Amino acid sequence: MKGSSSRSLVAGRVRRNPRRPLGVDWIVTDLAPATSTRLSVTWDYRCPFARNACEHLAQAIEGGAGYEIIFVPFALNEMHREDGDPSVFDDPARQRDLVAMLVGIVIRDRYPAQWLTVHKALFALRHDEGGDLRDEALLRSLLENQDIDPDIVFSEIASGWPLAAFRKEHDSAQRDHSVWGVPTFIVGDQAAFVRLMTRPTGDASASRRIIDHIINTLQEFPQLNELKHTSIAN
């Protein structure tokens, strides 16, 4: 696979990204840039398929996969608003709809060592626990459970930079790669929406094979525009 390495891999770490693709200034990595596989992945906590992709990526990283991953926030609310409605980024009445994503952006950029754990927990809040992502009390409790001071996180949100970052990265993904949904995997100049139907089983090597297959398809077979099974196995 292009960009892969035969070296022994170690658990993923977070470091600053000197190239800042898509305006993002951090990456999850475990090897030097010359030997790792670089990709970007969009997310919105409302989407169960983004949850599946997040969990496979996290399990592969925790199992030693050599990826540099740029996690790109993407607002499904913005894509689904009615014609004539203001942008969700400009509408004060819609800010509550974005708060979980803003929490995620703060954790990504200010608490990178805890990013994957909190990222998974925010997905779990919605899809495993049936929690309301707009409920600040639930979000505060989640942060406290991760030993993160929620007052600091919400102070960062109040400062305005997380919303500005959200809008910039959403717009960049849409403009530069025609992204319309989550999760979209971006490798080089190739981008594809990918719907993974299953969650990880605890086998990091299996999750890594899934992610490697996606990367290989984007790199080696851009002619494949759409492959969709006509039925879903039980």
Query: Looking at per-residue confidence, does 22 or 179 come out higher?
Result: 179
Q: Which tokens sit at 150?
A: 């929620």
> Do 183 and 43 contact (CB within 8 A), yes or no?
yes
What pLDDT was estimated at residue 31?
Answer: 34
- Per-residue pLDDT band at 214 (split at 50, 70, 90): very high
Note the pLDDT of residue 71: 98
**pLDDT tens, 90-120?**
999 999 999 999 999 999 999 999 999 999 9
- Concatenating the DSSP letter of every residue in the chain gives -TT---SPP---EEEE-TT-GGG--EEEESS-GGGSEEEEEEE-TT-HHHHHHHHHHHHHHHTT--EEEEEEE--HHHHTPPTTPPPTTT-GGGHHHHHHHHHHHHHHHH-GGGHHHHHHHHHHHHHTS---TT-HHHHHHHHHHTT--HHHHHHHHHHSHHHHHHHHHHHHHHHHH---SSSEEEETTEEEE----S---S-HHHHHHHHHHHHHHHHH-TT------SS---
173-200 average pLDDT score:
97
What are the distances in angstroms from CA 6 to CA 3, 41, 60, 62? Answer: 10, 24, 16, 17
**Stretch 6-35: mean pLDDT:** 41
pLDDT above 80: residue 4: no
Give the closest residue to 65 by CA, choosing from 215, 193, 195, 187: 215
pLDDT at 29: 41
Q: Which of 103, 158, 87 is nearest to 136 (CA)?
A: 103
Task: Check residue 226 and give left, alpha or beta (phi > 0: left; psi -120 to 50: alpha).
Answer: beta
**Model confidence pLDDT, tens digit, residues 129-151:** 999 999 999 999 999 999 999 99
The pTM assigned to this predicted structure is: 0.85
The residue whose two tokens read 């199992």 is 63
Q: Over the stretch 51-62, which tens digit does the pLDDT of each residue have?
A: 999 999 999 999
The dihedrals phi and psi of 147, each to the nearest 5 degrees, come to: 60, 40
Nearest to 28 by CA among 150, 151, 119, 149: 119
* Mean pLDDT for the stretch of residues 9-29: 44
Label the pairing between strands 37-43 and 67-73: parallel
Rounded average pLDDT over 71-79: 97
Residue 232's pLDDT is 86
How high is the pLDDT of residue 56?
Answer: 98
Residue with tokens 């670089």: 38
Mean pLDDT in residue range 217-231: 93
